[in-house]
C-alpha cells in the first residue's frame, strides 16, 4: 500500500477555514449575549470543549454547525463569512427588515430609515447618523416620525 503525503497547501487552507469558523462561532455567540457555558450546554459538551471549538483547537461537526445556526438565528453561511461581514450577524427579523428596505425607492428608503431611527431614539437608544438611501437620494423624513 502506497501512502501519500498530505498536501501542505490544502492543509493550510483547511486550517484557515477552521480558525475562521471558530472565530465566527465566538463572535456570533457574544453578539447574541450568550455565555460560553450556555453554548456548551446547548451543544451538550463541557465548557472546556466549547472553549476548544471557539479557539479552533477542535472542530465542530456539520450537524453542530447547523444546530448552532438555528440556535443563534443566523444562516449557516454566517460561520464562513469574512470577519467584517456584519450582515451575517443579523438575526432573521433584521435580515427581513434589510431585504424590505433594499426594495424601496430612495425617497421611501430614507423616510423608513429616519422613522426607525426616530423610534429607536424614543425608546432610549442612541441614534447613529442615518445611512444614505439606496441609489443616492435624500429627503427630510423626520416629520414622518409621529410624536406621541
Domains of the chain, by residue range, sit at 8-88, 104-144
pLDDT given for residue 78 in this prediction: 86
Q: What angle do CA 105, 124, 104 make, to 5 degrees?
A: 5
**HEC-encoded secondary structure of 93-145:** HHHHHHHHHHCCCHHHHHHHHHHHHHHHHHCCCCCCCCCCCCCCCCCCCHHHC
Instruction: Answer yes or no: are the C-beta atoms of 77 and 66 closer than 8 Å.
Output: no
- Total residues found in the chain within this entry: 148
CATH for 8-88 is: 1.10.260.40
| Grouped pLDDT means (10 residues each) for the chain, 148 residues | 77 89 91 92 95 94 94 88 60 81 89 88 61 42 35
Q: Alpha-carbon distance 136 to 132, whole Å?
A: 6
Amino acid at each position: 500500500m502506497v501512502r501519500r503525503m498530505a498536501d501542505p497547501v490544502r492543509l493550510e487552507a483547511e486550517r484557515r477555514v477552521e480558525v475562521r469558523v471558530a472565530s465566527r462561532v465566538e463572535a456570533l455567540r457574544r453578539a447574541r449575549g450568550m455565555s460560553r457555558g450556555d453554548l456548551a450546554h446547548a451543544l451538550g459538551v463541557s465548557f472546556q470543549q466549547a472553549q476548544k471549538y471557539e479557539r479552533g483547537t477542535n472542530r465542530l461537526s456539520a450537524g453542530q454547525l447547523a444546530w448552532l445556526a438555528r440556535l443563534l438565528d443566523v444562516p449557516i453561511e454566517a460561520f464562513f463569512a469574512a470577519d467584517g461581514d456584519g450582515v451575517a450577524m443579523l438575526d432573521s427579523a433584521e435580515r427581513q427588515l434589510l431585504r424590505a428596505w433594499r426594495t424601496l425607492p430612495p425617497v421611501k428608503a430614507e423616510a423608513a430609515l429616519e422613522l426607525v431611527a426616530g423610534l429607536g431614539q424614543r425608546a432610549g437608544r442612541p441614534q447613529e447618523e442615518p445611512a444614505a438611501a439606496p441609489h443616492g437620494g435624500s429627503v427630510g423624513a423626520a416629520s414622518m416620525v409621529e410624536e406621541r
